[in-house]
Homo-oligomer: A and B are copies of this chain.
Amino acid sequence: MKMSNHYKNTEKHHVAVDNIIFGFDGNRLMLLVVKRQIEPCKGEWSLMGGFVGKNESLDEAAARVVKITTGLEDVFMEQFFTYGEVDRDTEARTISVAYYTLIRVEHHDHALGQQHGARWFPLENLPHLIFDHNQMVKDALQVLAVKTRNQPVGFELLPEKFTIPQLRALYEAITGKPLDPGNFSKKLHNMKLLTRLDEKDKSQSKKGAFYYRFDKIRYEELQKEGLLFELK
């Protein structure tokens, strides 16, 4: 353990991570929020978050809070902004590094969730959240919407097997705008990131929509070639 410290006279701050955890129920984009377990604002709705530990990186802290409520590891997660207004936390100055996370709702451990007062809300019908958490959600959604335009984000939110109309519904939920079914379908096929299965979902139509799987291998190949991130 190091003894001398040239920074010892400089201010220290509470640092938290807050995680905007998105899910998708097939129609609507959902958000996982929790009943806050500590004062202040104990019992109010809040994003899932936590203080950054002494020997824990930011990414580790963000992953930790996801695991606590959902039981999931290795999920898609991205830091997007750090909130540092002096008075954002009513108790004491806290700087919060915000992440958003995309998970499959059905993978999530509901028992564990309930234990921690977690609950899914549809995005368009969120309760009031503490501090600046509602703003964080808005910002996260916007970042997600921008990403969507250039990158095939969103597969993380769907089941292993999904239909193109399901994927379209997800994109409509993210961007808030209707998409042309035909064009969407063709675009996806052009990307060649999906593998069609010999099975149809007939719950939505008589004809039925083919199930697909996301072709991760091909995705990684394309990324290596830099084709996806490149807007040309």
One of B7, B11, B82, B149 near A92 (C-beta < 8 A)? B7
Which of the segments A50-58, A118-126, A128-136, A154-162 contacts the partner chain? A50-58
- Tell me the minimal C-beta distance from A13 to chain B in angstroms: 5
In the complex, the answer to whether A10 meets B51 with C-beta atoms within 8 Å is: yes
Q: How many copies does the complex hold?
A: 2
CA distance A92 to B3 in the complex (A): 10
Which of the segments A83-91, A101-109, A220-228 contacts the partner chain? A83-91
In the complex, the answer to whether B52 meets A7 with C-beta atoms within 8 Å is: no
In the complex, the answer to whether B6 meets A91 with C-beta atoms within 8 Å is: yes
- Binary contact readout A45-84 vs B (1 if CB under 8 angstroms, 0 otherwise): 0000001111111110000000000000000000101101
In the complex, the answer to whether B91 meets A149 with C-beta atoms within 8 Å is: no
A13-B11 contact in complex given A38-B6, A56-B86, A92-B5, C-beta closer than 8 Å: no
Among residues of B, the one whose C-beta sits closest to the C-beta of A9 is B51
CA distance A51 to B13 in the complex (A): 10
Interface residues of A (CB under 8 A from B): 2, 5-7, 10-15, 38-40, 51-59, 79, 81-82, 84-86, 91-95, 97, 149, 231
